[in-house]
Amino acid sequence: MMFLGGPRREDPAQGREAAPRSAPAQAVEKLRAEGLKAWFGATLALKGISLGMKERRVTAIIGPSGCGKSTFLRCLNRMHEVAAGARAEGRVLLDGVDIYGRGVDPVQVRRRVGMVFQKPNPFPTMSIRDNVLAGAKLNGVRLREEDALFEKALRRAALWEEVKDVLARSGASLSGGQQQRLCSARALALDPEVLLMDEPCSALDPIATARVEELIHELAERLTIVIVTHNMQQAARVSHYTAFLYLGELVEYDETDVLFTKPQNPRTEEYITGRFG
Amino acid sequence: MDRYRRRSAIDRLAKAACVAAVLLALVPLASLLAYVAAKGVSGLSLSFFTGLPKPVGEPDGGMVNAVTGTLVLVGLACLFGVPPGVMAGIYLAEFGDNRFGKAVRFSADVLSGVPSIVVGIFVYTLLVLWMRGFSALAGGVALGIIMLPTVTRTTEELVRMVPDSLREAALALGVPRWKAIVRVVLRTAAPGILTGLMLAVARVAGETAPLLFTAFNNRFWSIDLSQPMASMPVQIFTYAVSPYEEWHRQAWAAALVLVAMVLALNAGARLLLHRRAPR
Ligand SMILES: Nc1ncnc2c1ncn2[C@@H]1O[C@H](COP(=O)(O)OP(=O)(O)OP(=O)(O)O)[C@@H](O)[C@H]1O
Ligand SMILES: [Mg+2]
């Protein structure tokens, strides 16, 4: 299944020692934004953000609506520039290599850095099954053990039980929350090195949310996760590090425990205690 | 409560008005179909589909040459009109937000407003004179040119209607742009594009004027593209303006067959697409 290039972590067991919660500070930076600015036409949505995201750790991005969380995430796999009139400036280092550097193919970047969008976007013309396998199928990659692969992806996304009997149905026939999990499964089936999740639980009930959070824990043993969430409890539960964005700027970044218990910036404190936002 | 009753009364009234409008719009369509069917059935026979045109008075005259001719001409028209039209439409929708795109869009609109007889004359001077004779090829080119702007603009419309979120979904999976367009955007827009194509085909299948200058007509069996070719509209025209009762009957039968062919094509294309789509 490791058909997508790029350096891999050799020993998955290594991750298990570094279990979630207490994050040893010496983890390597998988992804690093440096002076990242992003525009939509003439409006500056990100005003120069520098932030490192550690390997095999979960970094949560929090902040009030419209502060640039989605934009930041989309800059990390070069999806920002896809929107009309959008452009980015600055550097984003993936394993030390600037993905905005000359000669870097955004297509290759996106294969290594997967993404789950804020709004679920399954392919309506494809069956549930083909949706999950879309990454490989659209790229013309032949899969061995297709069945095992997509069952695994669907199980991980906590969707298998609900759809195992209707795999031939259209991806658009699912409920909003199911579509959201289908999109998670689709990203996972590509086996990315980094997974960007933009509010992956916004349409889920508490049980499915718990399953997805469990999945995030599990995935963090092998890959680097950046998750946007509006839910403070969720950020506290799933992430090792948290970054607070406000009006396109990084206000505070720290280990999640520290940020939630002893925020340095009064803005952060106001936000996490629910006094504005 | 009173308000509610008023509101539902208005609601019912509006609904009734809509239904009435629909029925009114259906009247011409239904009566046309019924009239053509009634007039045409009597002219239908086996020899209609197997025989060649015969002089008045001789039995077993038919239109096999015109039926196949129309199929060939429409096929040629699709060959010349559909690929460039669909590609131009994709270009306009995906990359056409610039000067060049505007120019293309404008020319397509102008072209779709050009009377079909003018297209016929154009192809006549361009191709028929050059080839020194009427030909099926020239007819196909003329019909293809008539299809081109419709196909271009409908494809553009429908490709634009595909939500950006689907393009993004494909791109985020590391799919190159062109593949995302072909495999996701086009696939999603396909039912609409196909409907548009069917409409263009239906329109072109009934064109008569441009064929008079290009494919002309042929009393004999011919599928040679460099020779004149019979077609149902031209044959209908020829027979309808003749003074003979028997030819009138055949013209009505041809009209019925033409309508049926367009309907069958339409239904077939929809069925094909319906089968392939998951639900
Ligand atoms: N397609 C777009 N065109 C123009 N401006 C945009 C576009 N998308 C976002 N913006 C602007 O960029 C800023 C950041 O938007 P972004 O979507 O990143 O916010 P967000 O933090 O993800 O918000 P939310 O929590 O509501 O999802 C906003 O001020 C928004 O108005
Ligand atoms: Mg957002």
Q: Does the CA dihedral A258-A260-A261-A265 come out positive or negative?
A: positive
Which residue out of A47, A49, A69 has the highest number of ligand 1 atoms within 8 Å of its CB and is therefore the one to mutate?
A: A69
pLDDT value of position A25 = 53
The total number of structural domains that make up chain B: 1
Pairing, β A29-40 against β A58-62: unpaired
pLDDT value of position A106 = 94
Q: Please tell me the distance from the alpha carbon of residue B24 to that of residue A277, in angstroms, as a whole number.
A: 56
Residues 6+ apart with CB under 8 A from B275: none
Say whether residue A118 is in contact with chain B using an 8 A CB cutoff: no
For the segment B174-201, what is each residue's pLDDT rounded down to a tens digit?
999 999 999 999 999 998 898 889 889 9
Structural domain contains residue B239: no
Q: Please tell me the distance from the alpha carbon of residue A105 to that of residue B232, in angstroms, as a whole number.
A: 55
Q: Which helix (H) or strand (E) holds A88?
A: strand A86-94
Structure tokens at A102: 């000359």
pLDDT value of position B177 = 93
Structural domain contains residue B88: yes
Say whether residue A134 is in contact with chain B using an 8 A CB cutoff: yes
B163 — phi, psi (to 5°)? -60, 145
Least CB–CB distance from A169: residue in B167, B190, B278: B278
CATH of the domain at B85: 1.10.3720.10
Instruction: State which residues form the domain around B107.
Output: 67-231
- Cβ–Cβ below 8 Å for A108 and B167: no
CA-based nearest residue to A91, from A54, A57, A58, A51: A51
Does residue A192's CB lie within 6 angstroms of at least one atom of ligand 1?
Answer: no
Query: How far off is chain B from A2, nearest CA to CA, in Å?
Result: 14
Which residue out of A67, A231, A244 has the highest number of ligand 1 atoms within 8 Å of its CB and is therefore the one to mutate?
A: A67
Least CB–CB distance from A139: residue in B175, B187, B190: B175
Tell me which chain A residues have a C-beta less than 8 angstroms from the C-beta of B167: 82
Structural domain contains residue B50: no
Structural domain contains residue B215: yes
The separation between the first and the last C-alpha atoms of chain B, rounded to the nearest angstrom, is: 42
Query: pLDDT tens digits for chain B (279 residues)?
Result: 688 999 999 999 999 999 999 999 999 999 999 999 999 998 888 888 888 888 887 888 888 999 999 999 999 999 999 999 999 999 999 999 899 999 999 999 999 999 999 999 999 999 999 999 999 999 999 999 999 999 999 999 999 999 999 999 999 999 999 999 999 999 999 988 988 898 899 889 999 999 999 998 888 888 888 899 999 999 999 999 999 988 999 999 999 999 998 888 878 877 877 776 666
Q: Is A156 exposed, middle or buried (0-12, 13-18, 19+ CB in 10 A)?
A: buried
Structural domain contains residue B176: yes
User: DSSP assignment, residue B228?
Assistant: -
- Cβ–Cβ below 8 Å for A110 and B172: yes
DSSP SS3 for A231: coil
A101 close to A52: Cβ distance less than 8 angstroms: no
Query: What are the mean pLDDT values of chain A's consecutive 10-residue runs (277 residues total)?
Result: 41 41 66 96 95 95 95 96 93 94 93 93 93 88 80 90 91 90 92 94 88 90 94 93 95 94 92 77
Q: Please tell me the distance from the alpha carbon of residue B216 to that of residue A43, in angstroms, as a whole number.
A: 61
A with B: how many residue pairs have Cβ under 8 Å apart?
A: 82
Structural domain contains residue B208: yes
Q: Please tell me the distance from the alpha carbon of residue B189 to that of residue A109, in angstroms, as a whole number.
A: 28
User: Residue whose CA is closest, atom 11 of ligand 1?
Assistant: A45
Q: Please tell me the distance from the alpha carbon of residue A146 to that of residue A130, in angstroms, as a whole number.
A: 10
- Cβ–Cβ below 8 Å for B172 and A125: no
Distance A79 CA to ligand 2 centre (A): 13
Pick the residue from chain B with its C-alpha nearest to A186: B173
- 3-state per-residue secondary structure call for A189-226: HCCCCEEEEECCCCCCCHHHHHHHHHHHHHHCCCCEEE
Query: How far off is chain A from B101, nearest CA to CA, in Å?
Result: 16
Count of CB atoms situated within 10 Å of the CB of B66 = 28
Structural domain contains residue B218: yes
Query: How far off is chain A from B156, nearest CA to CA, in Å?
Result: 17
Does residue A69's CB lie within 6 angstroms of at least one atom of ligand 1?
Answer: yes
- Cβ–Cβ below 8 Å for B188 and A115: no
Structural domain contains residue B186: yes
Distance A149 CA to ligand 1 centre (A): 35
Q: Which helix (H) or strand (E) holds A227?
A: strand A224-228
- Cβ–Cβ below 8 Å for A79 and B179: no
Least CB–CB distance from B172: residue in A77, A125, A169: A77
Q: How many CA atoms lie within 13 A of A105 on its CB side?
A: 11
In angstroms, the Cα distances linking B188 to A131, B102, B217 are: 13, 25, 41
Query: How far off is chain B from A273, nearest CA to CA, in Å?
Result: 34
ipTM score of complex: 0.85
